[in-house]
């Protein structure tokens, strides 16, 4: 048995302990967990309350606390990244019959200027086979689509040349299973493991790198106009 404690996220810097019934719709929070031994630890997941069922709040998972990618002045939150990938998946991958079964991002600063790498594991939606024979033009459009959905700061820095083109690396089947094995071998509980949205460890990145079967880059710079405006 465990007791969950929620903290409101206010301006991303202050947090307040709240009772379950005091939670307001559309307010984000993260929670800590207290087990029977009375040891409390922060889980780190961020939730937004989307409504109520009777008196019980319904939660929408919106990201993990302090999971941010940055190369220059820009900061990409997990929510930014997940939204960009979800829209790209919906409008560019699914129409071609691909299914995105795993994704992780890495900020590569080994070269100048640095750039973001998205590791993707894809399957064919029809027969679940690994999608290796992938159209280059389609994947290059996916790269640009993700960049177009990042915030204005990122797009301005891309235009300035301080960040180079986003790259998508396609992985062989089972790559994210291997990543889980890597983290479990270093002490992560298999029952609590979640695929990281962003990878910061170069060792973890190399686990995926060894399974890359395709590399694709944006062939244009993203628009400097508002991403919200572009979608209208």
Strand, helix or coil for residue 85: helix
Question: Which stretch of DSSP H or E encloses residue 62?
Answer: strand 56-64
pLDDT band at 22; cut points 50, 70, 90: very low
What is the C-alpha to C-alpha distance for residues 86 and 142, in angstroms, rounded to an integer? 11
Mean pLDDT of 5-23: 50
% of the chain surpassing 70 pLDDT: 69
Q: Which of 17-31, 112-126, 145-159 has the lowest mean pLDDT?
A: 17-31
Residues 126-173: tens digit of each pLDDT: 665 555 578 899 999 999 999 999 999 999 999 999 999 999 999 999
Closest CA to 183 of 162, 160, 166, 199: 199
Residue 15 has pLDDT above 90, yes or no: no
Mean pLDDT of 203-212: 97
Backbone angle region of 46, left / alpha / beta, with phi > 0 → left and psi within -120 to 50 → alpha: beta
- Enumerate the domain spans of the chain: 3-64, 68-231
């Amino acid at each position: 048995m465990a007791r969950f404690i929620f903290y409101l996220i206010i301006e991303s810097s202050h947090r307040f302990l709240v009772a379950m019934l005091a939670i307001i719709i559309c307010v984000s929070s993260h929670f800590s967990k207290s087990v029977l031994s009375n040891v409390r630890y922060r889980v780190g997941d961020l939730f937004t309350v989307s409504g109520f069922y009777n008196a019980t709040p319904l939660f929408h998972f919106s990201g993990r606390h302090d999971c941010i990618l940055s190369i220059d002045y820009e900061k990409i939150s997990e929510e930014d990244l997940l939204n960009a990938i979800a829209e790209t998946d919906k409008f560019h991958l699914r129409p071609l019959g691909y299914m995105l079964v795993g994704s992780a991002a890495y900020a590569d600063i080994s070269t100048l200027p640095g750039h973001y790498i998205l590791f993707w594991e894809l399957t064919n939606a029809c027969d679940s086979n690994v999608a290796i024979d992938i159209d280059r033009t389609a994947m290059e459009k996916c790269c640009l689509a993700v960049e177009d959905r990042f915030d204005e700061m990122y797009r301005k820095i891309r235009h300035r040349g301080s960040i180079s083109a986003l790259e998508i690396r396609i992985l062989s089947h089972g790559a994210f299973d291997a990543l889980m094995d890597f983290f479990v071998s270093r002490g992560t509980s298999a029952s609590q493991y979640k695929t990281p949205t962003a990878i910061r460890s170069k060792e973890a990145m190399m686990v995926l790198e060894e399974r890359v079967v395709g590399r694709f880059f944006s062939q244009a710079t993203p628009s400097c106009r508002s991403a919200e405006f572009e979608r209208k």
